[in-house]
Amino acid sequence: MRSAVLGALGALLLAPVAAADPAGRSTTDETIRAASGSGYVALERAGGEKRQLRRPPGVRVDADRDEARRSLAFFGQLTDPQIADEMSPARVDFLDGAGGEIKSSWRPQEAVGLQVFDQVVRNVNANRTSEVRDGRGKRAKLGFVVSTGDLADNQQLNETRWFKAVLDGGRVDPFSGKPISAANPCATDANTVAALNAAVAARQYTGVADYDDYPGLPADRYRAFWDPDAAPPGGPYAAFPRYPGFLERAQQPFTAAGLDVPWYNARGNHDGLVQGNAPASVDLFRSIATGCLKVFPSLGLDPAQFAGADEAEAFRRIGDPAFITTLLAGARPVPPDPDRRILSTVEYKREIGNGHGYGRVDAAERRASDGNATYYAFRPRAGVELISLDTVAEGGGSTGNLDHPQYRWLEAKLKAAKRAKRLVIAYGHHTLATLSNTRTDEDAGSCAPTPKPGCDADPRRSTPIHRGTKGNATLRALFLKYPNVIAYVAGHTHDNRIDLVRRGKSGFWQINTASHADTPQQSRLIEVMDNRDGTLSLFTTVLDHAAPIAAPAPGTAAAGFTESQLASVSRVLAWNDPQAERGARGRTLDRNTELLLRDPR
């Protein structure tokens, strides 16, 4: 912990705002690319990208289709901001240096995730009018936005409230940690209590990105993290810039714009599992989240011991109470916070509220699941139905699946929509390929005798489990059975990817969009057009967030940064992150497109 760096000098040293920034623009107008050079590189403006026409084999392209077409639905997709309480004791960020399947348990830009998410929302609002004209020359207005999950990072109450505040608009306070008191205790000495309470009063960052919080360790313990105040002793972040006071500036409250249209939510694995992987059914693990001991890199814990461990092995060891006890023996005191508690599914729904989809859960499913069902459907206009799926594998693991009760409900919905000749767009967190989890919900453990977050609270049997592309009764096969399914919109993989999924003349488009947490921090607009010639067109348009392309100059004190400048720094940090997937932008065929289909009606 250290005091925030103050002073007006920072405001005078900020880099000038670029003349052509993303606010109010889409990537058909301009794009962002890495500047030339090696090492840590800046980002710069590049030209816009033309829309790519894609069609299934055998579907005729009518050159005059733009003269008759009508808009049926125009909506946005947000996905994977993974809003992190980066100071939470419940995180496993101390293992990030192990790489492999444990990578991205920490990100250099994670402290400003809320500011980035607000800039994402602002550019969606600024692009509410469609770029595509119908046959009468009119352009549709954005009707709603769907979120395809991983809005929170660690299933915590405060993270959930934060992302909802960004989406709804209003005051957002990114800081976590509360003063120690009888109601918020910490078993430590009086001097430590005084120091921790002073840190809360000063809104100081506490975590792995501040080397001062765990001094005196071998150099390799620091190389895996970026401290904006101090140069690392070599390693992948050695070329990263300094922004003194950046972490403390990130903790300041701000006012979020909020979406100008309704939004509907689908859960992701990070919304329903600890760090997106483990059920929160271990009592000790839940108590760690709200307590005052946080595990930092240490002499006794070398992340290299986890190198090469797959996800299942790593989280089996992390979830073992004996191993947790060993970790806590070398932990350091931090300000505790009861708002870091892990949410159950019912509590999560209550926090989101009925207005963002969960009020549309079928009454029969709600009763049968003891209030745990989170899947629902709605019709934004006659002839079009949106179906929201919950693909979280309650038994654990970052990949997903559908339990049998949800699968049966989905099939009934698809059957009814086909009879009524409604077009169906389904959305959920996991792509078909990542719906590969074979764990049952019962693997999370029973809720008896006392319900608790992380247990299997749905009294119905989850089996047989349904996956995306493998096993019996897959989601792919179910969608293909009903030709009125025209799209499945997903996230999870953090990259832009569009695939035609077909069998014979039947098919649909799977539309996957990059995350807001990692490079390139983009969102997507989707519009369905009836070409009135026996075909449909789905227009997809990718948006960068609204923050300036040019980040403040390296070395600038961060005390004077605006929220948009914090988000600008985040964008370039995310691009330069050594763990970043540079191919996440996808091909041009995965971004701005016109996707043709036969009209199944």
State pLDDT tens for residues 211-225: 999 999 999 899 999
The number of folded domains in the chain is 1
Q: What is the pLDDT of residue 180?
A: 98
- 199 with 184: CB under 8 angstroms? no
Q: Which helix (H) or strand (E) holds 71?
A: strand 70-78
Range of the structural domain that residue 319 is part of: 9-358+495-503+511-598
pLDDT exceeds 90 at position 440:
yes
pLDDT exceeds 70 at position 1:
no
Q: What is the pLDDT of residue 580?
A: 92
Q: What is the pLDDT of residue 309?
A: 74
- 292 with 89: CB under 8 angstroms? yes
Return the closest-CA partner of residue 523 out of 551, 565, 549, 494.
Answer: 494
Give the tens place of pLDDT for each residue, 390-428.
999 999 999 999 999 999 999 999 999 999 999 999 999
In a domain, 325, yes or no: yes
Q: What is the pLDDT of residue 568?
A: 98
Q: What is the pLDDT of residue 396?
A: 93
pLDDT interval class at 101 (50, 70, 90): low
pLDDT exceeds 90 at position 526:
yes
Q: How far apart are CA 444 and CA 440, in angstroms?
A: 8
Among 84-93, 166-175, 239-248, 292-301, which is the least confidently predicted range?
Answer: 292-301
Q: What is the pLDDT of residue 14?
A: 37
Token output for 405: 């009760």
Q: Cβ-count burial of 192 within 10 angstroms (0-12 exposed, 13-18 middle, 19+ buried)?
A: middle
Q: How far apart are CA 267 and CA 276, in angstroms?
A: 11
Amino acid type, 136: R
Give the tens place of pLDDT for each residue, 249-294.
999 999 999 999 999 999 999 999 998 988 988 777 788 999 999 9
Q: What is the pLDDT of residue 5?
A: 33
What does the chain come to in residues?
Answer: 601
In a domain, 50, yes or no: yes
In a domain, 77, yes or no: yes
pLDDT interval class at 306 (50, 70, 90): confident
Q: How far apart are CA 582 and CA 576, in angstroms?
A: 9
- 580 with 517: CB under 8 angstroms? no
In a domain, 76, yes or no: yes
pLDDT exceeds 50 at position 563:
yes
Which residues lie below 8 Å from residue 246, measured CB to CB, with a gap of 6+? Answer: 111, 228, 229, 558, 561, 566, 569
The strand pair at 522-530 and 535-544 is best described as antiparallel
Q: What is the pLDDT of residue 19?
A: 40
Q: What is the pLDDT of residue 285?
A: 76
pLDDT interval class at 308 (50, 70, 90): confident
In a domain, 423, yes or no: no
Among 127-136, 185-194, 293-302, 372-381, which is the least confidently predicted range?
Answer: 293-302
The residue ranking higher by pLDDT, 512 or 317, is: 512
In a domain, 451, yes or no: no
Token output for 31: 């794009």
pLDDT exceeds 90 at position 301:
no
Which residues lie below 8 Å from residue 191, measured CB to CB, with a gap of 6+? Answer: none
Give the tens place of pLDDT for each residue, 157-169.
999 999 999 999 9
pLDDT exceeds 80 at position 3:
no
Give the tens place of pLDDT for each residue, 22-66.
999 999 999 999 999 888 999 999 999 999 999 999 898 889 999
157-168 and 345-352 helices, crossing angle to 10°: 20
HSE-up of 196 (CA within 13 Å, CB side)? 26
pLDDT interval class at 302 (50, 70, 90): confident
Instruction: Give the mean pLDDT of 549-567.
Output: 97
Q: What is the pLDDT of residue 13?
A: 33
Q: Coil, helix or strand for 559? A: helix
Task: Give residue 160's Cα distance to chain centre.
Answer: 12
Q: How far apart are CA 67 and CA 65, in angstroms?
A: 5
Give the tens place of pLDDT for each residue, 567-595.
999 999 999 999 999 899 999 999 999 99
pLDDT exceeds 80 at position 326:
no
In a domain, 576, yes or no: yes
pLDDT exceeds 80 at position 319:
no
Question: What predicted TM-score, i.e. pTM, was given to this entire model?
Answer: 0.94
Q: How far apart are CA 377 and CA 375, in angstroms?
A: 7
Instruction: Give the mean pLDDT of 56-81.
Output: 94
Computed over every residue of the chain, the mean pLDDT equals 92
Q: What is the pLDDT of residue 310?
A: 73
Q: What is the pLDDT of residue 223?
A: 92
Q: Coil, helix or strand for 520? A: coil
The residue ranking higher by pLDDT, 134 or 12, is: 134
3-state DSSP of 428-484:
CCCCCCCCCCCCCHHHHCECCCCCCCCCECCCCCCCCCECCCCCCCCHHHHHHHCCC
In a domain, 523, yes or no: yes
